[in-house]
Structures are given as C-alpha cells and as structure tokens.
Amino acid sequence: MLNEEKAPADCLDHRRAGVLLHLTSLPGPGPCGSLGPEAHNFVGFLADSGMTVWQMLPVGPTQSDGSPYQTNSIHAGNPRLVALEPLLERGWLQSAPADDSDAAKFRALRLSWDGFRERAVEADHKALKDFIADNAYWIDNYSLFRALGREYRTCWWNWPRPLRDRDPDALERARQRLAEDRDYIHYVQFLFFSQWQVLRGHANAVGVKLFGDMPIFVAHDSAEVWACPGDFDLNEDCSPRVVAGVPPDYFSATGQRWGNPLYRWDAMQADGFRFWLDRIRTQMRLFDMVRIDHFRGFESYWEIPAEEESAINGRWVKALGDELFERLHQRFGKLPLIAEDLGIITKEVDALRKKYRLPGMKVLQFAFSGDPTNPYLPFHHDRDSLVYTGTHDNDTTLGWYLSLDEKSRTYVDEYLGHPSEDMPWPLIRCALRSRSHLAVLPMQDVLGLDGDHRMNLPGTSDGNWSWRFSWDQVWSELPGKILQLVKLYGR
C-alpha cells in the first residue's frame, strides 16, 4: 500500500444499525435541509436511538430535476446544502432570507461573500486560501465551468468552440475575465466543506459514521466531462455516442435510459485511473464509508445508442472493473466501499465484488416472491452485507405492504409469523435481526409513513427528491423503542 492516502478503519467491524435520510429531507428553514443545526439534531436522534450510521444520497450540485444522481461535479458540494445559521453567527450575513426559496438562499450566500471579505478575520482568509490549494485537483476546473455556464447560460458543448474544446489561451482569458465569479464559487465550496467537517466531527464524536453514495456515472453537463472529454465516449461535436442505463427490470418494463455518457475505459487505464483516484480521494474526505451505485457496471455496463429513446435496444459491454479496483487497492489499501449489487447480477459481477471484499446489499421488499431460493430472504443473508427494508428507489415499507395483492400480503404475514405489530415494524425487526452486519432503515419506515412520502420513483422525472420530515412526526417514545430493538438484536 502506498502512503499517498490511507483508508479509514473498517466500519463493518461489528453489527450496526443506521438510518437512510438524505440531507435535503431534514426539516428546518430554507428550500431543503442543510448542514445546519437540524443536521446536528438528527445526529443526536441517531445517537439517542442507538444508531451508529447515517446514510445519505450523493451531495453534489444538482441540475434542474433535483436528482442527486445527476450532478455538475463529482467533487463539489451542493450549495443548497450550505447552512446560513453559521454565517449569521460569524457576522458574514446580517439577516436571514425573507422566504424559503432557492433564489432567496442564493442571494443570502452572495451577501455573505461580501460580508466575509469585509469582516472575516485573517485566520478565515487563510483557511479559504488553504482550502483552495488543498482542492486544486478539481476546484479550478469546477469554478471555471460554473462561471462559464452562468456567462453563456447553456450547456458546455454549446459554448464558443475555443472554450468548448479547452484552448489554453481562451481558458486563461476566461479565468481572468471571470475571476470575481470564480472567487465566489470557491468561497461557497469552502463553506460547504467547512460545515461538512464540523458535522462529521460531531457525528464521529458521538459514535455515528457518515455513509455516502457515489454514482458510477457522471452527468454529461458536468465539469469533469468538459475538463477530460477523452475519458468519455463522445462524438466530435462532444455529444455522447452511447449513453448509460439499465435494461428492463423490476422497476421499469422499458428499462431506464439515464443518458450519462459512458467511459472510455482504455483511456482511463492508460493514465492509471487518475479520474477514479481523485474521485475516491474526495469521497474519503467526506464519508466514513461509501456505497458505489450500480456496481455491476464495473464488470459490464448497458450501452444504449444515444439516438434511442428508451433503454430496450442496448447491449452489455465489458468494463475494466478488476483493473480499476486493483489500482485503488494499491493506492488506498482496503477501502470502506459497499457494492450496490441489485438488479441483474451475474456470477462475474459477484466474483468481482467478492475478490475485493466489498459487502453487497439485501433489500427485504424484494424478498417475498414466494420462491425459497430468493437471495433477499433473511436466511440467505451473509454477515458481509447490508440489509435494508427498502431504499430511496422503493416505496415506503407501509406503502409497499398496502400495495400487495392479498396472496402476497398473506405470504409476507405468514413468513413474519403473523405479527401483532403494524407495518412497518415487523419488517424493521426482520432487518435488525438479520445476519447482515449493517441494517439500514429509511427514515420514512422509522416514522411509519405510507407511500405518499416516497423519495423517488425510478423512470419518472417529476415529483421526486423533495420529501422532508418534520420533528412533529417523531413521537417522544420513538428513540427509546429503536434503542431497545438495537440492543435486542445486538446492534
């Protein structure tokens, strides 16, 4: 193992329980949850409940649809998640926004930049300067990408050709012309990462680990595709030749056409997988453990011709996942990575996961097909895995249970021993007593909410990612009940 970076300790060293809740779903002021006081309050709720893991979705800057799986950068933090309360406390912001809109929040962030320049002490200015230097491997490309996007108000492949194609002279002129806007973008990222480290420090101090989510693919309109087009399978006009997705499955009869450009694995291998080394470096700065979304794409990925409107007419293409993970192992040692291995999983995919000792996922909502060989049934779980009642792509457990036909519901009831408790508690107990070392419960299930509180419906673009909980939904005895179950099942 090289000494450039060191992986954190194994977070699945013993049985744990955790909650899946994205930061945007926290209560509080503003258009969505943030890294402010409510995030710290939620850490307290987890600690009081005996939970030691907080899993969330990707935290990058989202695009117009709000999906955390389509972001403008694989490194940057989402400005929407920056909390205003610390800025008010420091005196960099004089007053809170008059409303909870995104526009009002972004105006407040811009005003805080003026306040920072006028009132921040020397140590704060030095901290900002050090942050920019420490993140030089990505932040220059990102800030220029965002500044140019604001200037031209269109996607990067529609910019003037010298900028689209990254002519060095054109880039340098743009850096100078947009210096003020780039400085502000650096400042907002400084706020995000500073507030993140405060939250992570607080969580770790009370025994809570932060668990992130890393999409395998990146958005076409992102700083990384613009900065390193040779890593992606693009046409001469910078449009994708082929795009990512998955074939028809449980979630969609026509599959899912995600639209992300696909990687040129040969080019990535030629430069030692620099793209992935940098990506993991950032993730380890943020999280104690990370889920790799769509892990099976590292063995073979579903390639869809860009002109196709659905994912049906695609094909499986071999990836270089083995070579990539070998390089990551050389650089970092054993990483705290989790493989999202749901969907069509072949023996080759399973062999790749096991070779690098990556725990997989078991989702109980997929378990009750009536087939005793179903791998999601609890008696098939192994210790080196994570069990979920459901994920952000599933209905809530109560919503799922209520949607079952009578025969399926009877089977679930019989398997669970005809419990007297109302759903979702029987399935929560089933997850907690599983052999899997980590049991994760969506916050909606902890609160016993129905399908109206679903986070995402795969294959749709409207009405997703906006759910938020309220502390009014957390009844006073809830932490104690969870703590009792956590102790009962040795977590």
Q: Which residues are catalytic?
A: 293, 340, 393
CA distance 197 to 134: 14
Between the CA of residue 244 and those of 152, 228, 232, 264, what are the distances in Å?
Answer: 27, 18, 12, 13
Tell whether the torsion through CA atoms of 226, 227, 229 and 231 is positive or negative: negative
Residue 301, H or E segment: strand 300-305
Within 10 angstroms of residue 138's Cβ, the number of other Cβ atoms is: 20
Between the CA of residue 47 and those of 42, 138, 246, 342, 389, what are the distances in Å?
Answer: 9, 34, 38, 29, 20
- For 315, phi and psi rounded to 5 degrees? -150, 155
**Beta bridge mates, 302:** 245, 316
CA distance 298 to 348: 10
Whole-angstrom Cα Rg for the chain: 23
CA distance 206 to 54: 12
